[in-house]
Chains A and B, each alone.
Chain A
């Protein structure tokens, strides 16, 4: 009985995987996810003593995968319009470093075992939210979703939703509240954001 069930499950998994391979976006996300997982798993031991190596590697991967420019716009929200170009660029840089660190730290901490992409119902045109079930090493599962859009024929991630928690929206409301408590001074908010990232690093 058990064997029958596992053989059945095996075919299910194979079927699901081959289905993903047909559609390029799912396959692309799967490849990138595996690449990142491997990177984190190999770098985990060294991360304790010297996190900068893994940050560097993850940064390189994410720079090609994440649309930090649009994320900057989305998180600054209504304050993007009033900011000048220098401020926008400064925030983009701060945000990029911050997200690379937070994302790396989260992956190091929550040891994931497998990532199973949920196939899209219909082939994407130029935008898609793609969900995947992540299983951690202690067999907990959670749902991760990437909002993606095509930019010059490459798919880029523009937001991430962790078990229903929309990080883009959460950060936008953080930015807005920092603006209110700092008399709408964009420079101070960017500075505070960078310090918050450093403190994070410090408390680790």
Chain B
């Protein structure tokens, strides 16, 4: 992490530069439109089978071990830390989506949690009324009117759409972890993040029923749309065609 004012300016400039580059790249690349959201279902199913096997052998046991050796408050703090660490991505995307007021509020949230919340381990900002938001480059593309494109399951990564996948790449390059100098610390942060994210999904996973592939695909696609609309549900398409 940067420790002087000079580093901080350089850090900010880099984030902005990379953000602008990512924005331009995304804008130019994402134009694909597909009627069927999952044209590569056969391939995707194979990749998911591979991912599930890797998960069963490596990530899931680690996640279970993590739950065994940590208490709930510890896990919440770790999760808070990662949310806060990645929060500049949300802030940047609020501005990219033209939500200036929310951008400044989220900036305030980041400052409060990084300082008073001791590097983000404690979420004090929510108690001050600065609630958490979830914005990323994929959502920004959606707000800009880009179609979500096709559904893919990426090896060792999981579900993406063309749009969210491009967003994930942009997030990778703009993620504050890129500015951690020590590569062991960087990898360590990534590994713990992967384990804690997996651990947080263990409970929800038990609610998956029926065809696991379809369930995850539908849930993922619907959730992405929901995030693009900032959680506003105006109409439910489920029974529209019934009457």
Complex interface residues of chain B between 188 and 243 (CB less than 8 A to chain A): 203, 206-207, 209-211, 214-215, 218-219, 222-223, 225-227, 231, 233-239, 242
Asked whether A194 is an interface residue with its Cβ less than 8 Å from the other chain, the reply is no
- Closest beta carbon of chain B to A179's beta carbon, Å: 12
With contact pairs A5-B128, A177-B214 given, residues A168 and B239 touching in the complex (Cβ less than 8 Å): yes
Are the C-beta atoms of B211 and A174 separated by less than 8 Å?
yes
Asked whether A38 is an interface residue with its Cβ less than 8 Å from the other chain, the reply is no
Chain A contacts of B105 at CB under 8 A?
A: none
Are the C-beta atoms of A166 and B209 separated by less than 8 Å?
no
The stretch from A25-33, A54-62, A102-110 touching chain B is: A102-110
Are the C-beta atoms of A131 and B211 separated by less than 8 Å?
no
Additional pairs, 7, CB under 8 Å, beyond known A73-B242, A109-B206, A168-B238: A129-B234, A164-B227, A166-B222, A166-B238, A169-B238, A174-B210, A177-B211
Are the C-beta atoms of A164 and B235 separated by less than 8 Å?
no
- Closest beta carbon of chain B to A138's beta carbon, Å: 6
Asked whether A196 is an interface residue with its Cβ less than 8 Å from the other chain, the reply is yes
The residue that B238 contacts in the complex, of A109, A110, A159, A177, with Cβ under 8 A, is A159
User: How many B residues touch the partner, as a band?
Assistant: 20 to 34
Are the C-beta atoms of A102 and B209 separated by less than 8 Å?
yes
Chain A contacts of B72 at CB under 8 A?
A: 138
Asked whether A139 is an interface residue with its Cβ less than 8 Å from the other chain, the reply is yes
Closest A residue to B223 by beta carbon equals: A164
Chain A contacts of B227 at CB under 8 A?
A: 164
Asked whether A124 is an interface residue with its Cβ less than 8 Å from the other chain, the reply is no
Chain B contacts of A164 at CB under 8 A?
A: 222-223, 225-227, 231, 233
Chain B contacts of A5 at CB under 8 A?
A: 128-129
Asked whether A20 is an interface residue with its Cβ less than 8 Å from the other chain, the reply is no
Chain A contacts of B233 at CB under 8 A?
A: 129, 131, 143, 145, 161, 164
Chain A contacts of B237 at CB under 8 A?
A: 166, 169
- Closest beta carbon of chain A to B231's beta carbon, Å: 5
0 or 1 for each of A74-113: is its CB under 8 Å from B? (1 = yes): 1000000000000000000000000000100110011000
With contact pairs A74-B238, A74-B239, A74-B242 given, residues A174 and B76 touching in the complex (Cβ less than 8 Å): no
Are the C-beta atoms of B218 and A170 separated by less than 8 Å?
yes
Q: How many cross-chain pairs have Cβ atoms below 8 Å apart between A and B?
A: 87
Chain A contacts of B215 at CB under 8 A?
A: 170, 174
3 interchain residue pairs of minimum CB distance: A164-B226, A168-B238, A147-B236
Chain A contacts of B218 at CB under 8 A?
A: 165, 169-170, 173
Chain B contacts of A106 at CB under 8 A?
A: 207
Asked whether A163 is an interface residue with its Cβ less than 8 Å from the other chain, the reply is yes
- Closest beta carbon of chain A to B151's beta carbon, Å: 13
| CA gap between A28 and B174 in the complex, in Å | 46
- Closest beta carbon of chain A to B160's beta carbon, Å: 17
- Closest beta carbon of chain A to B65's beta carbon, Å: 20
Closest A residue to B206 by beta carbon equals: A109
0 or 1 for each of A38-61: is its CB under 8 Å from B? (1 = yes): 000000000000000000000000
Chain B contacts of A139 at CB under 8 A?
A: 76
Are the C-beta atoms of B231 and A143 separated by less than 8 Å?
yes
Are the C-beta atoms of B236 and A159 separated by less than 8 Å?
yes
Chain B contacts of A178 at CB under 8 A?
A: 210-211
- Closest beta carbon of chain B to A127's beta carbon, Å: 9
